[in-house]
Structure 1
Amino acid sequence: MKQVSTVLTIAGTDPSGGAGIQADLKTFQELQTYGMSVITSVVAQNTTGVQSVHHLPVDFIEEQLDSVLTDIPVDAFKTGMIATEEMMRIIYHRLKSQEIYYVLDPVMVATSGDVLIDENAREYLRDYLIPLSTVITPNIPEAEYLTETSITSMDDMKVAAKIFVHELGASAALIKGGHLEGEPTDWLYNGEEFYKFTSNRINTTSTHGTGCTYSAAITALLAQGKLLLTSIESAKQFVTAALKYSFPLGHGNGPTNHWGIREGSYDLERH
């Protein structure tokens, strides 16, 4: 009998280790879940940006998914970089009948500003993947792109969150406010109420992979049976510690510290 929570990430790679599949697996491990991965794209990137992207054949992505799903039960999964509609179609048809938590991190633009997704895929993501999601976790540029709205305030964030739920069909939407001035404040809307998550802004340029790490932490905590509110609160603590104890590796935006939670006084069991 399976006695460990299992988590699957479907995303692109980062050979420098700060984002993508690598960041997700590190986060899963730190949160004591068994991490698995299906790679959609192999990305040549580092802290300075994306140098090249190679998309894996769609039939091979399908084979990876089947390898996992026919062998090991999955408690929760997340998607990150899914570059094309064809990739999204395979993921949707393989996972639509799975009654498991789904965290949709709509990775479209890297921290460096490099575009990572085919624009033609936006409508499929809106029409099929968003309604499948337990929670979608866009930052402000991603939320603007998907909802076709301008977000310059917390009220605008709430409007976008309502669009994700009531118009696009997500079960819940977590709009991340790190791009606004002041304390980084995120708003969760579950179709009925808003919930606010705030932390101190960390003075660091080592932000590479922050969104991947945050969504991966939410996924791991949901897999362990925690409620969505509890999972987000604890994941916020996790990513804040990862930023607070980050290190200046590389020549650009350095990576977060995935074991940062061990460096501080944070106790996820209290959240």
Structure 2
Amino acid sequence: MRVTALRAAAVAALLVTAGCAGLPGGDAGDGDRSAEQFAEDVQAAMSDVDTYRMTMQMNVSADGQSLEMRQTGAFDREAERARVNATAMGEETTTYIDGTTLYVQFGGEWQSQNLSETDVWNGSDSAARQGQVLASGDVTVEGGATVDGTETTVLRVDADPEELKEAIQQQSTSPGVGSLGIEEATYRMYVANETDRVRQVDLSMTMSANDQTMRANATMTFSDYGADVDVAVPDAATDESARVAAPDSSSVAASASPVVAA
């Protein structure tokens, strides 16, 4: 199994996981609220968030090979700034967003990209794309769970493979993503009972490429809603004379997916 295929699978899984904050409605409920009502309440609660922190851990495996990715991030929507530190295959990447400019440090060098066309912070286009991902499945209330001492309700989404594949392809031009087959995708969102804010998202996804099967498992956690978040872009990142050519689409997608989905 080529590493390129594993990277493509990781990008696809990132897009699906990042999309969970835009959960649309389903039919089944817990007796008090339907899945559709839960979805509306979650969207309202999450749209009211200015600052938060996140962590993500992902593993993509096939034929004895695996790709692991870890991310930690801090987001300030009001100031329109974000920072994500990522590690994948032993390589470290630091990503900042300041307004509509993306800065990525990789291999000791800074690169930048203009994200104005994505309307990253307020755009309905980005939210609509995330909605497409989640609209590809049936949403049900699965039960309750405790996440870091917080009582939550678990919402489950079983995605339609073909519709999910189409949504992923619309969101990414990264090499290899278009040729991926989606066999199965299920994710669970853990919503805090008191606030209706997302505390954790678990993803399980099976994909195929070149007659090989790949499996992705990821967990994202969200915390420190409303806490002080200081995201300061380093001077080196904004120094045009020190930057190199803009990163390719695969680098941007792998490092910035959760930022763009914020």
Higher RCO (Cα < 8 Å, 6 or more apart): 2
Which structure dedicates a bigger proportion of its chain to helix?
1
Fold shared by both chains (TM-score > 0.5): no
Which structure dedicates a bigger proportion of its chain to strand?
2
TM-score (norm 1): 0.24
Which structure has the greater CA radius of gyration? 2
